[in-house]
Amino acid sequence: MQLIPGLYIVATPIGNLADVSDRAKAVLASADLIAVEDSRVTGKLLNLLGLKRPMLPYHDHNGDRVRPGLIARMASEIIVLVSDAGTPLISDPGYKLVREAREAGRLVTTIPGPCAAVAALTLAGLPTDRFFFLGFLPAKDKAKRDAIDEVKAIRATLVLYESGPRLPATLKLLADLMGEREAAVAREITKAFEETVTGTLTTLADHYAEGGPKGEIVIIIGPPGEAPPADDDDVEAALRKALVTLPPAKAAGEVARALGADRKALYARAMELKSQ
């Protein structure tokens, strides 16, 4: 394939090798150099495709150092950017390379393809007209809480990447801070054990309370107000549960926020329950 020199951003499969496009294969085959996250991972892909091309690691730790060389070579060569899986730049390195390639007047083009965030959106059965991609939440508890608080009122479907071991704690925190929102956990998309579990954040937190499943995961959360309002029995049960560990005012506040119920009425009921 005769290509114009420049930067080619190539999406690769997120599990199923058959998802690699003909165009992706052709561009990889024509590459003078492939900028990769991990040469072992991309080496395996190239091997499966029957290709052998030079690779150069490009990631957060060496990006500043190797970028100028890549930009220079794009003037006369086919430079391809891939990530370990899926679409480069989506929770993966690459935006500075694209920005600086443009600034240098290089051709920048894309060979689009698999992306876990978009694939999960198509599986969840939640509104897709407006969605907000969060990538990975921070690992540390306080930063994670702050990040959730920051986005919980956004009137859009939320998309998050997560790992199996962290899933139970993340779902619990999302349920605590966001309340009864419809959600889905999409796992191992396009792989042998692909599975999508739907429910509310609370039912999903319960479902995975015993331990995180294996594999790669996307969490999708419907916009606020999409879940049906909690009925009186649910509110009463939540209040009784909260009162086991919290004083009445706090318990009423938490349940009111989580289930969208009236705080004053809940406080009165909490005091009644406490005095029984």
Nearest distance from C-beta of residue 112 to ligand SAM, angstroms: 10
Which residue do the tokens 């690769």 mark?
Answer: 12
Q: Given candidates 6, 58, 80, 83, which one binds ligand SAM under the rule CB under 6 A?
A: 83
Nearest distance from C-beta of residue 40 to ligand SAM, angstroms: 16
Q: Among 221, 146, 145, which residue's Cα sits nearest to residue 184?
A: 221
Are residues 13 and 85 in contact, defined by beta-carbon separation less than 8 angstroms?
yes
Q: Given candidates 216, 230, 242, 252, which one binds ligand SAM under the rule CB under 6 A?
A: 216
Beta strands in the chain, from DSSP E residues, in sequence order: 6-10, 33-36, 55-57, 78-81, 108-111, 131-136, 157-163, 182-187, 195-200, 216-221
Is residue 111 a contact residue for ligand SAM (CB under 6 A)?
no
* Per-residue contact flags (x/-) with ligand SAM for residues 4 to 33, judged by CB under 6 A: ----------xx------------------
In this complex, which beta carbon is closest to ligand SAM, that of residue 151 or of residue 246? 151
CA dist 173 and 155 (Å) reads: 19
**Which single residue brings its beta carbon nearest to ligand SAM?**
86
In this complex, which beta carbon is closest to ligand SAM, that of residue 36 or of residue 258? 36
How distant, in Å, are the alpha carbons of 169, 175, 199 from that of 206?
Answer: 11, 10, 10
- Tell me the HSE value of 178 on the side-chain side, using a 13 A CA sphere: 36
Q: Given candidates 87, 157, 170, 202, which one binds ligand SAM under the rule CB under 6 A?
A: 87
- Spatial neighbors of 251 by CB under 8 A, at least 6 apart, are 239, 242, 243, 266, 270
Q: Given candidates 46, 79, 97, 115, which one binds ligand SAM under the rule CB under 6 A?
A: 115
Is residue 227 a contact residue for ligand SAM (CB under 6 A)?
no
In this complex, which beta carbon is closest to ligand SAM, that of residue 122 or of residue 163? 163
Is residue 218 a contact residue for ligand SAM (CB under 6 A)?
yes
Is residue 189 a contact residue for ligand SAM (CB under 6 A)?
yes
In this complex, which beta carbon is closest to ligand SAM, that of residue 15 or of residue 248? 15
In this complex, which beta carbon is closest to ligand SAM, that of residue 121 or of residue 201? 121
State how far Cα 29 lies from the chain centre: 30
How distant, in Å, are the alpha carbons of 61, 91, 148, 151 from that of 134?
Answer: 22, 9, 10, 9
Is residue 163 a contact residue for ligand SAM (CB under 6 A)?
yes
Beta strands in 64-107, from DSSP E residues, in sequence order: 78-81
Q: Which residues bind ligand SAM (CB under 6 A)?
A: 14-15, 83, 85-87, 90-92, 115-117, 161-163, 186-191, 216-218
